[in-house]
Amino acid sequence: MTSEHQPPTPILDVRDLSIAYTRGRESVTAVDSVSFALAPGDRLAIIGESGSGKSSIVNSLLGLLPENSRRSATSVRFDDVDLSALSSETDWNQVRGHRIAFIPQDPTIALDPVMRIGPQVVETLTLHGGLERRAARGRTLELLDQVGIRDPERVFRAHPHELSGGMRQRVLIAIALAGDAELIIADEPTSGLDVTVQGVVLDLLDEVVRSHGVSVVLITHDLAVAGARADQILVLQDGRIIESGRTAEILAAPRSAYTRRMLEAAPSIHHTKLAASAEARERAVPAAPGGSDRGQSLLELRGVVKEYSRRGLGQGTFRAVDEVSLAVPAGSSLGIVGESGSGKSTLARIATGIVRPDQGQVLYRGENVTHRRGAVKRRLFSQMQYVFQNPYSSLDPRFSVAEVIAEPLDALQATSRSERDRRVAEVLDAVGLPADIARRSPTELSGGQRQRVAIARAVALRPPLLVLDEPVSALDVTVQAQILQLLADLQAEFSLTYLFITHDLAVVRLLCDDALVLENGHVVEHRPVADLFADPAEDYTRALLAAIP
């Protein structure tokens, strides 16, 4: 065989990698003898459920494993560097950020909150790109434009908190592209992005692969993204490789039952609304005294407006929400969809009283609660619970999981210790978490496990209304399917009403009765989900549907 037919030397070659964590006297194996290779210019997707070992592999490749970890391997080679032999930060800094770029999952943690966006990108370009500051500024504006940011000059001067979650994630991708990397490791890089921006970002990564021969390790729970964007797939379960190979072959004929279950659990725009289980329907309880009858509006917003100052971003103000009206019938689910920055989360915060509108009214069971205070506000908080998008920042790391879940019970309901413990155990079981996790800290949990704890906390009070802000965006598909079924069951059992914020239209198809589409704070259309998917009335909605991978 001639040399031209020889397979290329891998840019990344991992052999027999094992990782364990020590907790007290216990040692827990997270990764068990994992081996894989990645050719130059290839894209490898590592998929698996939360806790399967994906993030541990990433942290090992970046030299970011915690002190309580223990790693062993026959070899872990990146090009000409033996990563398993690196021991000091000085050694790692010769590779990390310069030759290996990282796109983390959570922009809230990764970006410095007191530093403007522009200098954070400029810093990377001067440290790893060798540019002078003036040239680095121009290159920063180019990178921000490349990742789909419409006003790079404005964002350059912004602080992270002044940007939406999707905008912050695009900044992280710009930072990763700022160096001259040979390998990009992307840990759920599009989990917080709407489908149109997701497509832009993934197209950009593909272009970098084609034009520069960069290799990509993509950590994702989105099988549609893996199928469309990866050359190889590696499936992990409990730290072990279940199967691996070329993407087309695995998706067409998966060998393991585990992979088949993941494929079956992936949401699709061709699915219909989830039905509650027979057990949930049998357990259905009558509405609470004074509760609204099914079909009557539980929550209404009438002409609400919210403006924010462009302080630090230029002059004047902008309207995040512009005269939006909606009604959510009791026992129904309304999905609010739109691109990042369209006003979805602001609208949800107005509905729950976290943000006060500048104009308009919020009505709950017909009562005007726009300017709620004191006892009225406290009573309403027990009636509405909010599940935030980011489980890393919404769970107090000083509390145990049991204390996190019990916090609203202690604050808003007079419950005995035994009743509180029973309720905590009940909701942990309902969201698919083992009972012994109650003693652990949120910092010990994976992203998916943290999100399930956040949902358990909201459900613990059994409120009539749940506001769910991207509640399944951080979950792998099998757990996502379980949570969506759980939400469908809880709705049937307790006549719950959902205000569901998401960028994933396939999830809206599964859970919601009606959909409200937002663009730049305006309502584009508000229709039953089945009608919206069958015959979208507006070009914007058609573009959102067409962008679904």
Q: Report, as an integer, the average pLDDT of 418-425.
A: 89
- Residue 340, pLDDT score: 75
3-state SS of 10-25 is CCEEEEEEEEEEEECC
Query: Residue 503: what are its φ and ψ, rounded to 5°?
Result: -100, 0
Query: Residue 157: what are its φ and ψ, rounded to 5°?
Result: -90, -5
Helix (H) or strand (E) holding 231: none
Looking at residue 9, its amino acid is T
**pLDDT above 70 (res 273):** yes
CA-wise closest residue to 232 among 466, 41, 513, 76: 41
- The span from the CA of 50 to the CA of 434, in Å, is 14
- Residue 106, pLDDT score: 73
More confident residue, 453 or 178: 453
Q: How confident is the model at residue 48 (pLDDT cuts 50, 70, 90)?
A: confident
**pLDDT above 60 (res 322):** yes
Exposure string over 333-369, b if 16+ CB within 10 A, otherwise e: bbbbbbbbbbbbbbbbbbbbbebebeebebbbbeeeb
More confident residue, 45 or 476: 45
Is 454 in contact with 391 (CB distance < 8 Å)?
Answer: yes
CA-wise closest residue to 184 among 75, 38, 7: 38
Q: pLDDT tens across 491-510, in order?
A: 888 788 999 998 778 889 99
- Residue 295, pLDDT score: 64
Looking at residue 55, its amino acid is S
Q: By CB neighbour count within 10 A (0-12 exposed, 13-18 middle, 19+ buried), where does 170 fall?
A: buried
More confident residue, 198 or 22: 22
Query: Residue 299: what are its φ and ψ, rounded to 5°?
Result: -130, 135
**pLDDT above 70 (res 25):** yes
**pLDDT above 90 (res 153):** yes
- The span from the CA of 222 to the CA of 188, in Å, is 9
Instruction: Please provide the average confidence, as pLDDT, over all residues in the chain.
Output: 86
> What six digits make up the tokens of 95?
């590779």
Tell me how crowded residue 63 is: count the other CB atoms within 10 A of its CB: 18
**pLDDT above 50 (res 107):** yes
Q: How confident is the model at residue 448 (pLDDT cuts 50, 70, 90)?
A: confident
Q: pLDDT tens across 124-151, in order?
A: 888 876 788 889 999 999 999 887 788 8
Q: Report, as an integer, the average pLDDT of 364-373.
A: 86
Enumerate domains of the chain plus CATH numbers.
107-180 (no CATH), 296-546 (3.40.50.300)
Q: Report, as an integer, the average pLDDT of 471-490.
A: 80
Give the Cα-Cα-Cα angle 146, 148, 152 (nearest 5 degrees). Answer: 80
More confident residue, 483 or 516: 516
The share of the chain scoring above pLDDT 70, in percent, equals: 93
Is 427 in contact with 483 (CB distance < 8 Å)?
Answer: no
**pLDDT above 80 (res 460):** yes
- The span from the CA of 320 to the CA of 304, in Å, is 10
CA atoms within 13 A on the CB side of 33: 1
Report CA torsion sign: 151, 156, 162, 164: positive
**pLDDT above 50 (res 292):** no
Judging by DSSP bridges, how do beta strands 497-501 and 333-337 pair with one another? parallel
- The span from the CA of 499 to the CA of 465, in Å, is 8
**pLDDT above 50 (res 232):** yes
More confident residue, 383 or 194: 383
Q: Long-range CB contacts (< 8 A, 24+ apart) of 157-160?
A: 157/116, 157/117, 157/118, 157/312, 157/313, 158/116, 158/117, 158/312, 158/313, 159/113, 159/114, 159/115, 159/116, 159/117, 159/312, 160/107, 160/108, 160/111, 160/112, 160/113, 160/117
For tokens 């802000």, the residue is 469
In sequence order, what are the beta bridge partners of 246?
232
**pLDDT above 60 (res 4):** no
Stated length of the chain = 549
- The span from the CA of 158 to the CA of 107, in Å, is 14
Query: What SS3 class is residue 312?
Result: coil
More confident residue, 546 or 362: 362
Q: Report, as an integer, the average pLDDT of 414-439.
A: 86
Q: How confident is the model at residue 287 (pLDDT cuts 50, 70, 90)?
A: low
**pLDDT above 90 (res 165):** no
